[in-house]
Amino acid sequence: MSHGFGAALKVDDGKPRLPGSLHLNRRLSQWLHFRADGVVEVKPGKVELGQGILTTLAQIAADELDVALERIRIISVVTPDSPDEAVTSGSLSVQDSGSAIRHASADARRIFLSVAAQRSGVAFEAITITDGDFIGPQGKIGTYWQFAEAGLLEVEASPEARAKPVAARRMVGISALRRDLPGKLHGAPAYVHDLSLPGMLHARVIRPSARGAELEALTDGPLPGDARLVRDGNFLAVLASNEWDAEAAAGRIAARAQWREADTLPEQTHLSAWLRDAAARGERKVTEERDAEIPAAAHRLKRSFHRPYLAHASIGPSCAVARFEGDVAEVYSHTQGPYNLRADIAKTLRCPPDKVVVRHMEGAGCYGHNGADDVALEAVLIARAAEGKPVRLLWSRADELGWAPFSPAMLVDIEVEAAADGSLLAWHAEVISNGHSGRPGRSPVPTLLAASQLAEPFPVQPSINPPLAAGGGAERNAIPGYRVPKLHVATTKLLEMPIRTSALRGLGATLNVWAVESIMDEMAALVGEDPLMYRLRHLDDARGRAVLEKVASMAGWQGHQPREGFGFGIAYARYKNTGAYAAVIAEVEARERIFCRRIWIAGDCGEVVNPDGTGNQLEGGAIHGTSIALVEEVRFDRRRVTSDSWESFPILRFSEVPKVDVALINRPEAPFLGAGEASLAPSIAAIAGGIHAALGVRPRQLPFSPENIARAG
């Protein structure tokens, strides 16, 4: 698919609409295979990133096919055999892949039962299924496995297929045990990092001394073991039979390399000013506008909010294994988008996509576009010099924190007008940011790190914002979900990109939800109204009201008694304004710095397949949001990123993790809505509200460090 956004963008191709990713991958055999030994292979195009999605998808298939969950085997993505579901991101896995698998399974069930009915003479309606056995009035008349090799699924899915009614579902709504956890908990090989192939060599990459630096000279000298240099322009790597020789050799070459540097990065202390200056040369577009006649305003607020660059900070550094078989490159990768990665590797190698095979293996988890795609290309480039042997490339912590794409720094200016009673009249928002997607597969040229460092380099393109129909990027959740008659929201995408940016959990919602909710808090205070009641007064969406009322009940909002040094904050958002609903209350403690002690979350993700997994996603998002709110910030000087260690880029410690309570409002009749990102931004906003309740200060800049809070005061 050309756009690389999968089912997030509806394609007007004249074909009958099929659910989710099934529309663009219509052949049933792409999704399902029944084996004669009683196993059902389910082949999603989404990948496991630690979110437990493959267990959820297995539940959906087992339920619709009427087979035991143990019979379902999920097949990891391999190009070109698996469906192309673009990228596992945006909280879309259950929504797009789950709905596709449900429909494909329902259609497969219909096809197999039709064949069984024809062969047995038993009426279709009289046949039931028990763990894959077809049961007629007189007993068993066949099985899925009996027809496994009949080619029944070599057809396009029918739009007429109908999934089971809610009352007939048995496996959905149950907290099935995560099938990937036992092996991980017992130390079994599970990750691409664990992969060991015969004759495998080890590699390390030597980074430039500064952003945009050019290699001027490289002094010759001995290297340990059989280590040897691999160079293509400014791309330097070492290859060795022994991993430790590769590590030592990289250090020696780094010490011998001479680079020509220049100041390419803005002054960090003037980052807000740089964003405003760059915006004058950016690309502005109106995101949403509606006009109305409004009375004269009694209250006006004009506020600005800022966030720094954010790193993905994956606990496990990125890794890939690559090899060439003839002219075909094969790479094992923990990419989020196997087909998109394949496209950019092919562009870099200047070969057809069918000369690249991407095999997904799990990594250590990610919450956006980290270094997984970059390390895959680098492994392929190095493997060209390995005479057909597999090459394992592991990034260092400094690589991960210093060279993976960052979530862009952002500014948002908001002006609001309200009537004397606080009723919102007008809302004007201006969002300033680099694009939030530098993912592979979405640009005519490759966007991966090494592609710009080769002897024949590819130009670095400014990152893009996904279309608003796919949730948007910088503008995500900039349109308030509250009733306001006059609205103007505009986004300026910066065309200057001194630091490479791409997607991180929540994209622009991280800043926009906090900005919107801070305005709601401040306007409520202006008119002396409870922040919860002020939100409810402006919220028409019944499901949004329900999560707010639920979280208030959970945390005892109405009866809460303030205490010295502590504060309660409340926030709400519907992710992307089209996804899952989350309302959050946070309790913070103000000591030498801010600590978040408790978080309550009420979530509405539509139909819940695995309650434990859904709850985990909401809880994880809140903890991630707490870390972003309190401690995370990329630091840099004029030439290089300096926060390239855990000491200089801290994340929330286990001892600082708040106690989290989650309640789900299950709506089995409603469509799936993903949970992975819904709670992150409201958690940041709720913590900001708690800070004001504790200290009387409204933060305007992330993170909510003592220095930034002091500036706000």
* pLDDT tens digits for range 490-548: 999 999 999 999 999 999 999 999 999 999 999 999 999 999 999 999 999 999 999 99
Looking at residue 8, what is its pLDDT? 63
> Mean pLDDT of all residues in the chain?
96
Looking at residue 3, what is its pLDDT? 56
Looking at residue 560, what is its pLDDT? 92
Taking 90 as the threshold, does the pLDDT of residue 157 lie above it?
A: yes
> Are residues 20 and 97 both part of a single domain?
yes
Looking at residue 222, what is its pLDDT? 97
Taking 70 as the threshold, does the pLDDT of residue 697 lie above it?
A: yes
Taking 80 as the threshold, does the pLDDT of residue 78 lie above it?
A: yes
Mean pLDDT value across residues 369-379? 97
Residue 467 in any domain: the answer is no
Residue 419 in any domain: the answer is yes
> 92 near 7, Cβ under 8 Å?
yes
Domain count across the chain: 3
| Burial of residue 292, with CB atoms counted within 10 A of its CB: 0-12 exposed, 13-18 middle, 19 or more buried | exposed
> Are residues 340 and 488 both part of a single domain?
no
Please work out, in degrees rounded to the nearest 5, the angle formed at the alpha carbon of residue 665 by the alpha carbons of 661 and 668: 140
Residue 466 in any domain: the answer is no
217 strand-pairing partners: 258
* pLDDT tens digits for range 85-132: 999 998 899 999 999 999 999 999 999 999 999 999 999 999 999 999
Looking at residue 1, what is its pLDDT? 40
* pLDDT tens digits for range 215-260: 999 999 999 999 999 999 999 999 999 999 999 999 999 999 999 9
> Are residues 485 and 630 both part of a single domain?
yes
User: How many other C-beta atoms lie within 10 A of the C-beta of residue 277?
Assistant: 14
Q: Which residues of 546-574 are buried (b: 16+ CB within 10 A; e: fewer)?
A: bbbebbbebbebeeeeeeeebbbbbbbbb
* pLDDT tens digits for range 669-683: 999 999 999 999 999
What CATH number corresponds to the domain at position 231?
A: 3.30.365.10
* pLDDT tens digits for range 399-428: 999 999 999 999 999 999 999 999 999 999
> Are residues 167 and 198 both part of a single domain?
no
Taking 50 as the threshold, does the pLDDT of residue 176 lie above it?
A: yes
DSSP string, 465-480: ---GGGT-STTTT-S-
Mapping DSSP onto H, E and C, the string for 141-164 reads EEECHHHCCCCCCCCECCCCCCCC
* pLDDT tens digits for range 271-298: 999 999 999 999 999 999 999 999 999 9
Taking 90 as the threshold, does the pLDDT of residue 623 lie above it?
A: yes
* 367 pLDDT tier (thresholds 50, 70, 90): confident
Is the CA virtual torsion 55, 60, 65, 66 positive or negative? positive
Residue 105 in any domain: the answer is yes
The verdict on whether omega for the bond into residue 80 sits within 30 degrees of 0, i.e. cis, is yes
Taking 70 as the threshold, does the pLDDT of residue 9 lie above it?
A: no
* pLDDT tens digits for range 452-482: 999 999 999 999 999 999 999 999 999 999 9
Looking at residue 4, what is its pLDDT? 66
Mean pLDDT value across residues 362-372? 91
Looking at residue 338, what is its pLDDT? 98
* 684 pLDDT tier (thresholds 50, 70, 90): very high
DSSP string, 644-708: -STTTS----GGGPPEEEEEE---TTSPB---TTTTHHHHHHHHHHHHHHHHS----BSS--HHH
| Burial of residue 372, with CB atoms counted within 10 A of its CB: 0-12 exposed, 13-18 middle, 19 or more buried | buried
Taking 80 as the threshold, does the pLDDT of residue 556 lie above it?
A: yes
> Are residues 485 and 355 both part of a single domain?
no
Structure tokens at 332: 């094992």
Taking 70 as the threshold, does the pLDDT of residue 709 lie above it?
A: yes
* 13 pLDDT tier (thresholds 50, 70, 90): confident
Residue 156 in any domain: the answer is yes
Taking 70 as the threshold, does the pLDDT of residue 429 lie above it?
A: yes
> Are residues 223 and 363 both part of a single domain?
yes
> Are residues 640 and 701 both part of a single domain?
yes
Percent of the chain with pLDDT over 90: 95
Looking at residue 14, what is its pLDDT? 86
- Weakest mean pLDDT among 4-18, 45-59, 334-348, 417-431: 4-18
Looking at residue 654, what is its pLDDT? 96
Structure tokens at 1: 């698919």
Residue 447 in any domain: the answer is no
> Are residues 133 and 63 both part of a single domain?
yes
> Are residues 45 and 178 both part of a single domain?
yes
Of 183, 215, 243, the residue that ends a domain is 183
Of 183, 218, 250, the residue that ends a domain is 183
Taking 60 as the threshold, does the pLDDT of residue 63 lie above it?
A: yes
Taking 70 as the threshold, does the pLDDT of residue 394 lie above it?
A: yes
Taking 60 as the threshold, does the pLDDT of residue 2 lie above it?
A: no
> Are residues 112 and 57 both part of a single domain?
yes
* pLDDT tens digits for range 311-335: 999 899 999 999 999 999 999 999 9
The boundaries of the domain holding residue 695 are: 410-436+472-712
The Cα–Cα gap between 191 and 689 comes to 40
Structure tokens at 164: 């089971």
Under 8 Å CB-to-CB from 332, ≥6 apart: which residues?
192, 195, 320, 321, 322, 359, 360, 361
> Are residues 146 and 256 both part of a single domain?
no
* 713 pLDDT tier (thresholds 50, 70, 90): confident
What is this structure's pTM? 0.97
Of 183, 210, 232, the residue that ends a domain is 183
663 strand-pairing partners: 602
User: How many other C-beta atoms lie within 10 A of the C-beta of residue 385?
Assistant: 18
Residue 1 in any domain: the answer is no
Residue 295 in any domain: the answer is no
Structure tokens at 68: 């035991």
DSSP string, 553-594: HHHTTTTPPP-TTEEEEEEEEEGGGTS-EEEEEEEEEESSSE
Taking 90 as the threshold, does the pLDDT of residue 203 lie above it?
A: yes
Cα 530 to the center of its chain, rounded Å: 34
Taking 90 as the threshold, does the pLDDT of residue 10 lie above it?
A: no
* pLDDT tens digits for range 568-578: 999 999 999 99
> Are residues 69 and 51 both part of a single domain?
yes
Looking at residue 435, what is its pLDDT? 98
Under 8 Å CB-to-CB from 174, ≥6 apart: which residues?
59, 610, 611
